[in-house]
Structure 1
Amino acid sequence: MTDIAGMRARNVTFWAQAAPGWIHHADRQDEYGRPLGAAALDRLRARPGERILDVGCGCGGTTAELAAAVAPTGAVVGLDLDESMVAAAAARFPSDRHPGLSFTAADIETAGTVAGAPFDAVFSRTALMLLADPVAGCSTIRRALRPGGRMAATVFRDGATSPWMHAVLLGAAPHLGPLAPMPAGDEPGPFAFADPERVKRILIEAGFEAVTVQPHDIALRAPDDPGTVAEWLIEIGPAGAAYRDAAPPRRAAARAGAARLLARFREPASGYRLTTGIWLITATAAP
């Protein structure tokens, strides 16, 4: 039997350890990582006056973008598992300068209800595949929506469509000591939603209808700065905690190793083009 409780506990620990890297690189993630959620933002078509939930909001960049779209009378709630990232989001986008914007820390799988519900729409950028029990998490999302409310989300496809992820880990890991094994199969991780039929089954079981899962090929653009780009990608990935714990010479070696394997994605004087495969998921909350 799958140990859901154990996987949830590992998720909490992982994100507590990963959060400092995401906070450190929040501005870069907002800028360079925007294509990861752009298709879902476009498909959601947030309108002034709507109430929207951002699931897996991280440090709040997508939540603030949604809040601008629903202003001046709408409201957006950013929800994330990790309290430190939620605190960082609130500090980056204070409510006195961003009316209608708020953040909350909660586990979407066990929350039962979400403060601010019901929502007209839900957005999520590369987060749903990280759930230990995706049916439970998506069921909470469904309950947070009004009947007929819409969801637009993105998740990664299979690892072969995002080869830079493997390059970063393979380049950095030899210099950082033992790392936890990468998730396999349906375990929560970047490629847990690689099978589009599984995604559809999860959402239908959770109470959604009109589910679509469409492939999108995108590219993340980053400047021609190998050391900075390598550090950004290491720190937001599975080697981030080990990297921050390592001595400076080992960190330098990890950056160099990652940069070496990322060189094939580098266009000198232009920057990095990190090809990435995502699924664009849309669904409607069943009555």
Structure 2
Amino acid sequence: MTDTSALRARNADFWAQAAPGWITHADWHDEVGRPLGAAALDWLRLRPGERVLDVGCGCGGATAELAAAVAPSGSAVGLDLAAAMVAAARARFAAPGLRYLVGDIETLDRVPGAPFDAVHSRMALMLFADPVAGLTTIRRSLRTGGRLAATVFRDGGANPWLPAAMLGAAPFLGAMPPLPIGDEPGPFAFADPARVTRLLTAAGFTDVAVVAQDVALEPPEDPEAVAAWLIEIGPAGAAYRAALPSAQKSARAGAARLLERFRTAGNGYRLPAGCWLITATTPEPARGQE
């Protein structure tokens, strides 16, 4: 098993290289990817005047939605490891009470702007190199009685489309980053709900619940565009952008072939996504520890 510092360095390098693809497809991903986080948004039931943190904000779309939910007197902070994506978020969205910060949740004591009433995270917790450290920072950044709602992928069988773009594109591209092993950061690192519960409990959360959610992403019927989107936001993205145009075309075609079973002529794509909705609260302090 790779040590935590090496995993952290790998994460930082991966997201620095992946950022251009996420920025290119930010508008598309905000729209098509919204079902992945809808359950967390609904569970939080944000109210005007609340302070909310978005962990793993990427290019900022979900954070802007959170800011709108707590407007006009509330505030929202988006935090992400990738400086380029935070810069893109700042360029894409501006509103009173909305801020985007660059930072590693695992190495902060508390997020600037704390304490927050609520924390939201869409498909990010599973990417932590040290989940207990990251979750502990989240807990410290919440007020007493604050609430956390996050979504993560379940296992690969519940998300059969997820590796298709990489597997279809890989034969035409250069070297890929190392794939995660076991509980290393990756799309299925939080597949085991018992492990998820243990991690949140170790970080000091109470009322932990892990509930299955089945949603679908429905991009339009455009095989080239869908293939390019999924390649560029995945582990093949950096190799794809470095490849010659002829190789990129072949990579898109290869990915589109593997994604074909999720497409219905005239109705577009339907990509089934099996997720966990993770919810928890921060406990009341023990007497004498307020």
What is the TM-score of this pair, normalised by structure 1? 0.98
Match of 1:138 among 108, 129, 135: 135
**CA drift at 1:178:** 2.5
Secondary structure at 1:191 match in 2: coil
Q: 1:2 to 1:243 in 2, by over 3 A?
A: closer
Q: Using the alignment, how far apart are the partners of 1:178 and 1:78 within structure 2?
A: 32
1:17-96, aligned counterparts within 5 Å?
17-94=17-94
Q: Using the alignment, how far apart are the partners of 1:211 and 1:189 within structure 2?
A: 22
* Equivalent AA in structure 1 for residue 153 of structure 2: F
**CA drift at 1:180:** 2.4
Match of 1:167 among 160, 164, 173: 164
Q: Does 2:252 correspond to 1:255?
A: yes
Q: Using the alignment, how far apart are the partners of 1:165 and 1:127 within structure 2?
A: 15
1:191-219 deviations in whole A, cap 9, x for unaligned? 00000000000000101000000011110
* Equivalent AA in structure 2 for residue 69 of structure 1: A
For 2:215, the equivalent position in structure 1 comes to 218
Secondary structure at 2:163 match in 1: helix
For 2:180, the equivalent position in structure 1 comes to 183
Match of 2:196 among 184, 195, 199: 199
What is the TM-score of this pair, normalised by structure 2? 0.97
| Stretch of structure 1 that moved more, 166-175 or 133-142 | 166-175
Q: Using the alignment, how far apart are the partners of 1:113 and 1:40 within structure 2?
A: 22
1:31-70 deviations in whole A, cap 9, x for unaligned? 0000000010001111100000000000000000000000
Q: Does 2:118 correspond to 1:121?
A: yes
For 2:288, the equivalent position in structure 1 comes to none
Structure 2: 5+ residue stretches without partners: 285-290
1:234-249, aligned counterparts within 5 Å?
234-249=231-246
**CA drift at 1:184:** 1.7
**CA drift at 1:280:** 0.3
Q: Using the alignment, how far apart are the partners of 2:276 and 2:74 within structure 1?
A: 28
**CA drift at 1:181:** 2.8
Q: Using the alignment, how far apart are the partners of 2:181 and 2:157 within structure 1?
A: 14
Q: Using the alignment, how far apart are the partners of 1:11 and 1:125 within structure 2?
A: 17
Q: Using the alignment, how far apart are the partners of 1:130 and 1:21 within structure 2?
A: 18
* Equivalent AA in structure 2 for residue 201 of structure 1: R
Secondary structure at 1:179 match in 2: coil
For 1:267, the equivalent position in structure 2 comes to 264
Secondary structure at 1:189 match in 2: coil
**CA drift at 1:72:** 0.3
Root mean square deviation, CA, Å: 0.8
Secondary structure at 1:39 match in 2: helix
Structure 1: 5+ residue stretches without partners: none
For 1:156, the equivalent position in structure 2 comes to 153
* Equivalent AA in structure 1 for residue 145 of structure 2: G
1:90-142 deviations in whole A, cap 9, x for unaligned? 00002xxx111000000000011211000000000000000000000000000
* Equivalent AA in structure 2 for residue 7 of structure 1: L
**CA drift at 1:2:** 4.8
Secondary structure at 1:186 match in 2: coil
Aligned length: 284
**Aligned residues: percent identity?**
69
| Stretch of structure 1 that moved more, 175-184 or 126-135 | 175-184
